[in-house]
Structure 1
């Protein structure tokens, strides 16, 4: 069931680990979970959340896996470089972070627009990705046009109405009917206050502009050969049932879970369902990998 009590979200930064970026910025990251021996899950922020948010929705995953999350280079506790971030900067920052933490291969957990970062990283560095968890993807399996039109509209709203205007536009799109009505004014104000306190107009604009550089090539999805889990809410404004089916047809070794009474960021609305689906997917992938290793050893 949706939880409207978002005023209790913990958004405190718990440490100050950071790595230096080549152009002078810094990338803030946090680790939690069972430590270096656990299967690593790396969480990639969308443009509207910051790193500590994940701790509210990953308590069960932390009991089983090694969790790594970070702020994008111009977001939250990370610092920007001297030039506007490009989309390739975000892809390379993810590689730098994995190198810094000695993670050769990880499961990428991405949400909304950061599914583009995870997708592009997997195209470029498939050997670094054990599997993909794509939550409420922002890209389309049919092309870029709708995403680009939406992003340009959001940029125009941000320019004219600031972060408050953008939040007012996004709130009824991102969150499901049940939460909006059950939460009422309290949920709206709590989420708005977090949004305004943690995000800046300049960082959102920079990231949205960078996302316009990326094309959604439907045919290229066939090269995503890493196991892929798509998690959607049944109230997602972006992907209908038929779009999910289009994605499953184009992405090899893909599966999906639709969470009821959830929206575009279903880990907010159903943390238990999100964690259960993610854990089961990773366990299945790890079991398949172990079986492959046993088969290879037996054949040697």
Structure 2
């Protein structure tokens, strides 16, 4: 199965990978500026998100993304990933370093990361709300946790919509994505890791620690941002991403 996607533009390929509280629409503000800047832009929904149905057997999100690129005839691309999408980007870059030409990671997850006790407690709280049938409260828990103080009401409404849809679809899930073991030292792509001062500690620590694990990585932390900075200050993050991509083309 080819996961749901959009593709537009011409030039070097850029792949946008979404957070697990969003879907591919989280990149709406970045989509057209990237196309206008001369890139062939691809964004997709992981299985169980947006327009991609659940899987009926074992699968890999990184494998799905790489299969999509093959379907589109794209041999190499820059990957931009947010949160869970960042983890998938890292996985793809470690497994197939020849395919990933650059990595821009916004508050990324990391393959093999063991959640802290506080994050595990947060997950248990979310599970309890869902088991009790209080989807609205579980949605609000995510909105309040993952959006920073600068997020406007439009961003909050969008995350509510996307997260509720994911909860509803994934309530029927019987299988999950395989979690590949990868060696991040195999990544050859120049990497920008963006952390956020208002993010939860696990993700701040991952962002700060990735330059010690990925050979050509640098870290910046945004003093104003929460976990989803491209929804909080869209124009600023768009320019940050374009600047990074321009460096790779020069």
TM range (shorter): 0.7 to 0.9
Q: Deviations over 1:44-98 (max 9, x none)?
A: 1222222233223333222112110111132222223323xx5x52121111100
Which structure 2 residue ranges, 5 or more long, are not aligned?
none
Larger radius of gyration: 1
Q: The residue matched to 1:48 in structure 2 has which SS?
A: coil
Counterparts of 1:204 and 1:132, CA distance in 2: 32
| Residue in 2 that maps onto 1:31 | 7
| Residue in 1 that maps onto 2:115 | 145
1:58–1:239 Cα change, 3 Å: farther
Q: The residue matched to 1:108 in structure 2 has which SS?
A: strand
Question: How does the TM-score come out when normalised to structure 2?
Answer: 0.83
Q: Deviations over 1:192-217 (max 9, x none)?
A: 6523664333427859x836x63787
Aligned residues: 247
Of residues 155, 165, 185, the one that matches 1:222 is: 185
Counterparts of 1:230 and 1:257, CA distance in 2: 6
Offset of residue 246 of structure 1: 2.4
The answer to whether the 8 Å contact 2:139/2:160 transfers is: no
Counterparts of 1:53 and 1:73, CA distance in 2: 16
Q: The residue matched to 2:192 in structure 1 has which SS?
A: strand
Offset of residue 240 of structure 1: 7.1
Question: How does the TM-score come out when normalised to structure 1?
Answer: 0.71
Counterparts of 2:180 and 2:73, CA distance in 1: 31
Of residues 65, 82, 93, the one that matches 1:122 is: 93
Offset of residue 242 of structure 1: 5.9
| Residue in 2 that maps onto 1:298 | none
The answer to whether the 8 Å contact 2:150/2:233 transfers is: no
1:245–1:136 Cα change, 3 Å: closer
Which structure 1 residue ranges, 5 or more long, are not aligned?
1-20, 288-300
The answer to whether the 8 Å contact 1:41/1:106 transfers is: yes
Once the two structures are superposed, the pairs formed by residues 112-261 of structure 1 within 5 Å of their partners are: 112-139=83-110, 143-146=113-116, 149=120, 150-151=122-123, 153-179=125-151, 183=152, 186=153, 190-191=157-158, 193-195=160-162, 198-203=165-170, 206=173, 210=176, 214=179, 220-238=183-201, 244-261=207-224
The answer to whether the 8 Å contact 2:101/2:190 transfers is: yes
Of residues 63, 80, 90, the one that matches 1:92 is: 63
Of residues 58, 70, 73, the one that matches 2:44 is: 70
The answer to whether the 8 Å contact 1:158/1:201 transfers is: no
Q: Which has the higher helix share?
A: 1
The answer to whether the 8 Å contact 2:148/2:228 transfers is: no
1:270–1:178 Cα change, 3 Å: closer
1:222–1:157 Cα change, 3 Å: farther
Is 1:80 the counterpart of 2:80 in the alignment?
A: no
The answer to whether the 8 Å contact 1:122/1:128 transfers is: yes
Q: Deviations over 1:25-51 (max 9, x none)?
A: x5211112x32xx11110112222222
